[in-house]
Each structure stands twice: as C-alpha cells, then as structure tokens.
Amino acid sequence: MSPHLPSRVRSVVTTLAAALSCSLVLSGCGAADPSAESSDGTVRGILEELVAAFPDDAQVSVMAADGDIITVGEVPESIAWSTIKVPIVIEALREGEDDLGEQAKLAITESDNDAASALFDTLGGGYQASTKVDNLLREADDTTTLTLPNAALGGDTGFGMTQWSSADQARFAAWMACSDEDAVQHVYRLMSDLVDSQAVGIETTDGGHAKSGWGTNEHTGVSTMRQMGTIDTDAGLVAMSIVITGDRLDDVTEEIDVLDDWLADHAGELPRTQCDAEGQ
C-alpha cells in the first residue's frame, strides 16, 4: 500500500462528493422531483463508485426512506468486533437487577472489554447469554445473526467474533433510534458521548450516535474496521453501517476514517427514514 493512501483516497472522495451533491440535491441541478425508487437508485450508484475508490474491500449499508436497506460493496467477512457490545449492553440493562450503569458506560463509551464481558456474564454467559442477545436482535428484524458465546475460538471475548452483516447493523441502528425503551435509549445516548479514542466519523457529527469495532482475525489474517450508527437530521434519520477489510489494520482504519467522515459530511444528501416508516 502506498504511504500516501489517505490523500489519494481523499482526492477520489472529493471528486465523488461533487457528483453526489448534484445528483441528490435538487436545487441547482435542474432535476425534477425523483421518485423514491429513482432516488435510491442514484444513491446506490454513487455509493458504488465511492466504495470502489478504496484499495481495500468496503461495504456500506444505509436505510432507505421506506425502511429497506441499500447495501453496496462486498467484504470477505463481517466480524462484529466491539460493535456487538451494543446489544449485549442493552440486554444486560434490561435484565440487570443491580446497578450496571457504570459498566455499561465503560463498555460503550470506552469500549472496555472487561466491562462488556462482565455484562455478558450477567446474562448467564455462554450460549445462554448468546441466545438472549440473539432474541434482542430478532426484535430489530435481524433474522440471521448468531452471537458467539464468550471464549469462542479460544479467545476471552469470543462474542466479538460474531458475524454481523452491515445491512443488519444499519437496521439495528435505526431500531435503536426509534425505540422508546429506557435501556435502548440509555445505550443510544452513550453512543453520542464516546471518549476521544473511540470518537470517529459518525459520532463526531452533530446528531451522531455510533459504535466502532476493529481487529485482525488470526485465523484468516483479515483486518476489519467498522462502524454502525445514526445521524439525526431535520429531515429524518440517517441509519448506516460501514465495513472495510484488508491486510493491514492501520490501512483499513485510515480508509474508514475517510469514508466515515465523507458520509457524515453528506448526511443531508443520503436517504433518511422516519420512525414510523415501514419496518420501523
């Protein structure tokens, strides 16, 4: 990889930004009001160009106005890493009889592994805890994700190795934003108050709520950097998930910083959904 990777990628993104602005912001572009279908098609085309600009594999999922998910790009694996802490913390707060607020805060705002593991254990640990987290995901219309139990693959935080698709993550992020449940909203608020080392991309934007995750799979050698979250705008909710995979964690981290920042800067031009949209 070139040592000038970030600047090279940024130049491509800048070029695409102008195309997106003209394609989606109708004023000044001379376009008639598009149907939801044609608008989503335009978004898909622009995002496909965007993810193709990156030297590593990239995937972006965004919720459309009707509640469907637009996904572009492909990645060889979609390991959740620390993003899985979000449903774990929610379920632990739902069930917890003790005050788990401090552990919840550490697990989300600092991505503290020990706090997340302790909360997972309050759910019974192992497959019992995994099943409870899966049941929570099903409430968000995620019918495929299967949370791994702690200590899977010999690790001490095996749930982080769970495969969680970007589409299901974007849907889950929207579900969180639209939920009126106390435990869900508590975690959602924590996702807008991350410590500096965790705050990148979506979370740094006004109205942004996000959780990132990253790591290298020692079995495949694939490094992943990912983020899921939402941006509240005057016109509605932008819910998305971004995944970039490659050979070097430093490279994919630099790339997702660029992609995250671009998506956050152009949130007003991305599809927005309302909490009463179909599927919400």
Tell me the domains of the chain and their CATH numbers: 55-269 (3.40.710.10)
Looking at per-residue confidence, does 76 or 235 come out higher? 76
pLDDT, mean over the chain: 82
pTM over 0.75: yes
| Angle, alpha carbons 62-64-70 (nearest 5°) | 50
| pLDDT tops 70 at residue 35 | no
Q: What is the pLDDT of residues 222-263, one digit of tens each?
A: 999 999 999 888 888 899 999 999 999 988 888 887 877 777
pLDDT in tens, 132-185: 999 999 999 999 999 998 765 444 458 999 999 999 999 999 999 999 999 999
Residue owning tokens 């819910």: 239
Q: Are 232 and 173 in contact (CB under 8 A)?
A: no
pLDDT at 21 over 50: yes
- pLDDT of residue 3 exceeding 90, the answer is no
69-72 sheet: strands from edge to edge: 69-72, 57-63, 236-246, 223-233, 208-216
Amino acid 158: pLDDT = 86
Amino acid in position 89: V
What confidence score (pLDDT) does residue 28 get?
Answer: 36
**At residue 66, does pLDDT exceed 60?**
yes
Q: Is the pLDDT of residue 278 over 50?
A: no
- Distance CA(141)–CA(174), nearest Å, equals 11
Q: pLDDT tier at 47 (50, 70, 90 boundaries)? A: confident
pLDDT tens figures, 191-226: 998 887 777 767 667 788 999 999 999 889 999 999
Distance CA 274, CA 139 (A): 18
Within 10 A of 109 (CB to CB), how many other CB atoms are there?
18
Q: What is the DSSP letter of 53?
A: T
Per the CB < 8 A criterion, the answer to whether 168 and 63 are in contact is no
The pLDDT score that the predictor gives to residue 194 is 82
> How confident is the model at residue 203, as a pLDDT?
65
Count CB atoms within 10 A of the CB of residue 261: 17
- Determine which helix (DSSP H) or strand (DSSP E) holds 225, and give its type and residue range: strand 223-233
